[in-house]
Amino acid sequence: MLLLNLQKGGTTNMSEKVSSQHKKQGLIHYANGPSLEEINGKIDVPKNWGFWKTLFAYSGPGALVAVGYMDPGNWATSITGGQNFGYLLMSVILISSLIAMLLQYMAAKLGIVSQMDLAQAIRARTSKTLGIVLWIMTELAIMATDIAEVIGAAIALYLLFDIPLVVAVFVTVLDVLVLLLLTKIGFRKIEAIVVCLILVILLVFVYQVVLSKPDWGGAFAGLMPLPRTFSGSEEVAGMTPLSGALGIIGATVMPHNLYLHSAVSQTRSIDHKDEEDVARTIRFTTWDSNIQLTFAFFVNSLLLIMGVAVFKSGAVQDTSFFGLFDALNNTKMLSNPILIGVAKSGVLSTLFAVALLASGQNSTITGTLTGQVIMEGFVHMKMPLWMRRLITRLISVIPVLICVAMTAKESELAQHAAINDLIENSQVFLAFALPFSMLPLLMMTNSKVEMGERFKNSTWVKVCGWLSVIALTFLNLLNMPDSIIGFFGDNPTAGQQHAGTIIAYVIDVLILALLVWTLVELHRGNKRYAQKQANKD
C-alpha cells in the first residue's frame, strides 16, 4: 500500500510528525499528524458482520458531506428556478448530484488509501508558499459558505422567536457552545445528530410538496436535459435557464466537501496492510456517501418542486427566506385549497423556518471540521474546534451586519433583496476555490504511483472525472462576470457592467495562472515521489 507521506524535498520522517502533545504552545500549536487525529481510526468495524450491519457501521461520514449539498445557499436558487422555469432545471439538479457522487467517491478513496486528507496530499507535493495561498483561498470559501449559514440561522431565529435580526446574528455565534457539547459526546453521536437533522429537513419538504399535489409526470420529465435547459436567451424575472443552471451547480458542488470527506472517511479503523480490508472500507464508504447524497438530491428536487407546485406561478417576488416564509402564510400565493387550509394555521411557514434552522446547524458542524482539516493540512497549525468556530463565525458576521446596517433605512423588500444578494455574491469564492480541489483530487486518484494498481481510478471514472472537472471549471469561469456584476446590485449601470466584466476576466486569468502553478508543482511532486519509490524497489 502506497502512503502519501511525501513532503517537499523528501519523505516525511517520524521526527517531523511530532505529536501535538509535545508541540503545544498555548491554544494554537503545530500539527502534522493524521487527519483529524482525535477521531482518526477510532471507530472499529468487525469484519464478520453482514452487509446491512456493516453498512450501518460505516454510515455517518456521508451525512456530514451531504449537508453541504443542501445548505441554505441552495434554497433560493432551486425555488426561484422552479418559479421561473417549471421543472426544466430538474435535470441540472440530477447532473450536479451525479457529479457530486463521483467527486466524493474519489475524495473518500484518497483518504482511505493514502491515509492523508486532500489538503495534506496537496501540501505534501507543493511548496510552502503555494500551500499558504491555497489555504487562504479555501478559508475564504469556507467563510463564504458560513455567510449563508449565518443568514439562514439568524432569519430562522427571527421568524420563529421574533428575535431582532441583528441580535439573532450575534446569537448564531453562540452555536460554538453547541459545538463544545458535541465534541464531548463522541463522533458517532455527532454523525447521528446530523442524520436526524437531515431527516427533519427532508420530511418538512416532503410534507409540503405532497400537500401541493405536484405534476409528478412533469417533474420526472424534467430529469431529462434539453437544449433549452442551458439557454441564455429566454429570460424570466431577470433569470435565464443558463444562469439558473449555473446558480444550482455553483450552490451544489462545493470545494470544502472534498477536503472534509477525505478526512472523515478515515474515522473507521483499517488494516492498511490488508488490501481486502481497504477495499471493503472504500466499498461501504461509497455506499454511505451515495445514499446520503441521494437524500440531498431529493431535498434539492423538493425545493424546486416547491417553487413550481406550492406557489402560484410567478407569485413569489421576494425569493429571500423572509419572502418564502411570508408566502407560505399568504393564501393568495398558494396553489391549491389543501395548502391554503393548512397555511391558515401557520404550520407551513413554521416548518419552513424549522428546516432552515436545522440546515444552518448542520452546516455549523461540518464547516468547523473542514476548517480544521485545511488548517492542519496546508499550514500544519491546529487550534481547539470552539476557537476556530468562534473566529470564523465572527468574521462571517461582519458582512452580514454591514449589509443590515446599510439597508436599515430602505424598504423591507430592499432589505430582503440585499441579504439575498449577499448570499448569492458570497458564492464567488466557491467558484474561485473549486478547481483547486477538483483537479488535484483527480490527478492523484488517477495515479498508479499514488493509489496503487488496484485502487487507481478505472477508465470510466477517469473519463467521467475529467469531463466533470473541465465542465464545472469552465462553467464557474463562464459565470464569473455575472457573479462580479452582482456585487453592483440588481440594476447595474452600463459602466458598472463593463467594470464588473473586466474584473471578472482578471480574476479568471488569475485563477488559470494559479491553477497552472498548482498543477506544475503537483506534477513535480509526483515525479519526486515516483523516483523515491523506484529507488526503494
Contact, 462 vs 448, CB < 8 A? Answer: no
Judge whether residue 233 has pLDDT over 80.
no
How would residue 165 be classed by pLDDT, with cut points 50, 70 and 90? confident
User: Looking at the domain assignment, is residue 297 inside a domain?
Assistant: yes
Name the nearest CA neighbour of 187 among 366, 406, 387: 366
Give the C-alpha separation, 231 to 227, whole Å.
Answer: 7
Higher-confidence position of 37 and 13: 37
Quote the domain boundaries for residue 120.
49-429
Higher-confidence position of 341 and 11: 341
pLDDT of residue 22: 41
Name the most confidently modeled range: 135-144, 257-266, 407-416, 432-441.
257-266
Percent of the chain with pLDDT over 90: 18
Express each pLDDT in 123-152 by its tens digit: 888 888 998 999 988 888 888 878 877 888
User: Looking at the domain assignment, is residue 362 inside a domain?
Assistant: yes
What's the grid cell of residue 492?
A: 447595474
pLDDT of residue 423: 76
Express each pLDDT in 293-308 by its tens digit: 999 899 889 989 988 8
Express each pLDDT in 504-533 by its tens digit: 899 889 889 999 999 999 888 888 877 777
Contact, 254 vs 437, CB < 8 A? Answer: no
Name the nearest CA neighbour of 93 among 113, 112, 70, 62: 70
Judge whether residue 13 has pLDDT over 70.
no
Express each pLDDT in 100-113 by its tens digit: 999 999 999 999 99
User: Looking at the domain assignment, is residue 29 inside a domain?
Assistant: no
Express each pLDDT in 364-394 by its tens digit: 777 778 888 888 888 888 877 777 777 777 7
pLDDT of residue 513: 92
User: Looking at the domain assignment, is residue 516 inside a domain?
Assistant: no
Report DSSP letters for 452-501, one per residue. Answer: HHHHSPPHHHHHHHHHHHHHHHHHHHHTHHHHHHGGG-SS--HHHHHHHH
User: Looking at the domain assignment, is residue 242 inside a domain?
Assistant: yes
How many domains does one find in the chain?
1
Query: Environment class of residue 55 by beta-carbon count within 10 Å: exposed (0-12), middle (13-18) or buried (19+)?
Result: middle
How would residue 25 be classed by pLDDT, with cut points 50, 70 and 90? low
Is the pTM higher than 0.75? The answer reads yes
Average pLDDT of span 405-409: 77
What CATH number is associated with residue 81? 1.10.4160.10
User: Looking at the domain assignment, is residue 325 inside a domain?
Assistant: yes
Give the C-alpha separation, 445 to 471, whole Å.
Answer: 19
User: Looking at the domain assignment, is residue 379 inside a domain?
Assistant: yes
What's the grid cell of residue 268?
A: 473507521
User: Looking at the domain assignment, is residue 396 inside a domain?
Assistant: yes
